[in-house]
Amino acid sequence: MSSMAWVGRLAGSAALAVLVGCGSEESTAPEKPLSADASRSEVHALAAEVRLLTAGRGITALAKPPQVRPALVQLGQALAFDKILSGNRDIACMTCHLPSFGTGDGRSLSMGQGGSELGPARTNGVVIPRNSPAVFNLFAITELFWDGRVSRDQEGNYHTPAGAALTPAMTRVFEFGAVSAQPMFPVLSREEMRAFSGNELAAIPDEQQQQIWAGIMIRLGAVREYRHMFEKAYPGTRFEQMTFAHASNAIAGFIIDKLAFNNSPWDRFLGGNDEAMTQVQLQGAKDFMSARCSICHNGPALTDNKFHNVAVAQFGPGKGGEDGSDDFGRFRESHVAAEKYAFRTPPLRNVELTAPYGHDGAFFSLRDFVDHYSESDIKLTNFDASHPEIPGVLNNKIDILDSRDPLLQGVVFAPQTVDEVTEFMKALTDPAARNLAGVVPGRVPSGLPVEGKR
């Protein structure tokens, strides 16, 4: 390989420094573990290189998730799929995290309260400014939501939009860290679940978070089956002593128990099987580990739990900015100038299944998003907004490029590198994650319809 070609290959790997999301595509990799023209010794030699590079980046296998008692899982599963948590009883948590769409919804921008139908077919609801992130392996993630507004630090302190409203008594209920706190917040959002009118929760002022949570518990307490399930999930505690923190923690327990996967070809490779991945996937792993990709995508979940601006076009209703329709990402939470337009480095496991990609779902193909990182400044300038789901690109491309992550500057790579790294991404898929129909309950205690039920 010429020196220029090698530079191109390394630059290709650098392009994935902060890869976001992915979607299911037909694989172009060979069907058999070894390609026809590769000897076993060549594959083992390539595997040895990948192992050395992986160790140098500190990337290790994903540990097993914490065990969750069955009664808590059962309660959390019911709550996650029950529309009773929403103001007008018309949307559930899992409406935007559909098992049939890789725990996303297949849309660029999610559609919340008031909508009908599911996934890309959903209409007439409030458009949410961001893409619905997948909820695989959340036990390994420390920063939640695209902007990291829910987290737990090493000292055990929770950082959330609720501030003091999330009391120490509530956080003592949490068994799974930040994941236990995350479900506390979609139910507060008028756009996502609570609605603007038509129900008793919508009538509560926004700043009275505890009252809103208490209102949901009143609803749940009126269902005898829920009272029994809560008390079974939390032995020794009467329902009247519980808060919505108990419900949120149960939903987290369900997510951790049913949506954690660690048996992908990559996991089997890390476990010592040199032939678990195809030769193309091994070469893609080498590309990925050789350069800057693994600077941001490291650790067991392949995320640094930090925030980066990767020059993705901004569109949709936004979350503020000068005209109210921009989205400054992490800057909204940290007020650090360098984090303007920066969003969380997503975990890459099962990334193949979670299209579309980016904080606003700007890309509908895994390969296209990998390719975006080559000359990302040019790609942003020439971004094609013709897809019917994209409502139009805002005129702030210069602002986005001004704070683009320096890791992406000067990155140019060949199509072959894009192909190889894309195939490596597919080796991160656990086969068990391809069919999640089993996580959808047949019914929920409220008697409301269950979305996604076969």
Instruction: Record the tokens describing residue 313, joined without a space.
Output: 């076009």
- Looking at residue 391, its pLDDT comes to 80
pLDDT tier at 4 (50, 70, 90 boundaries)? very low
Is the distance from CB of 339 to CB of 329 less than 8 angstroms? yes
Q: Torsions phi, psi of 7, nearest 5?
A: -60, -40
pLDDT tier at 37 (50, 70, 90 boundaries)? low
- Half-sphere exposure of residue 217, counting CA atoms within 13 Å on the CB side? 19
Is residue 57's pLDDT more than 80? Answer: yes
Task: Count the neighbouring beta carbons within 10 Å of the beta carbon of residue 426.
Answer: 26
- Looking at residue 200, its pLDDT comes to 98
Is residue 271's pLDDT more than 50? Answer: yes
Fold of 3-60+285-433: Cytochrome Bc1 Complex; Chain D, domain 2 (1.10.760)
Q: What is each CA distance from 360 to 107, 393, 428, in whole angstroms?
A: 9, 11, 22
Is residue 34's pLDDT more than 80? Answer: no
Averaged over 424-441, what is the pLDDT? 97
Q: Over the stretch 313-323, which tens digit does the pLDDT of each residue have? A: 999 999 988 77
Q: Do domains 3-60+285-433 and 70-259 have the same CATH topology?
A: yes
CA–chain centroid gap for 32, Å, is: 30
Q: What is the DSSP string of 43-80?
A: HHHHHHHHHHHHHHTT--PPPPPPP--HHHHHHHHHHH
Handedness of CA 48, 52, 54, 55 (dihedral sign): positive
**How far apart (Å, rounded) are the C-alpha atoms in residues 46 and 348?**
22
Q: What is the DSSP string of 222-270?
A: TSHHHHHHHHHHSTT--GGG--HHHHHHHHHHHHHHHS----SHHHHHH
End-to-end CA distance of the chain: 52
**How far apart (Å, rounded) are the C-alpha atoms in residues 112 and 124?**
9
Is residue 27's pLDDT more than 60? Answer: no
pLDDT tier at 13 (50, 70, 90 boundaries)? very low
Is the distance from CB of 280 to CB of 420 less than 8 angstroms? yes
User: What would the CATH number be for the domain defined by 70-259?
Assistant: 1.10.760.10
Q: Over the stretch 214-237, which tens digit does the pLDDT of each residue have? A: 999 999 999 999 999 999 999 999
Q: Over the stretch 358-413, which tens digit does the pLDDT of each residue have? A: 999 999 999 999 999 889 999 999 998 888 888 877 767 889 999 999 999 988 88
pLDDT tier at 135 (50, 70, 90 boundaries)? very high
Every domain of the chain and the residues it spans: 3-60+285-433, 70-259
Averaged over 292-321, what is the pLDDT? 91
Going by C-alpha positions, the residue among 444, 58, 81 that lies closest to residue 259 is 81
**How far apart (Å, rounded) are the C-alpha atoms in residues 245 and 402?**
41
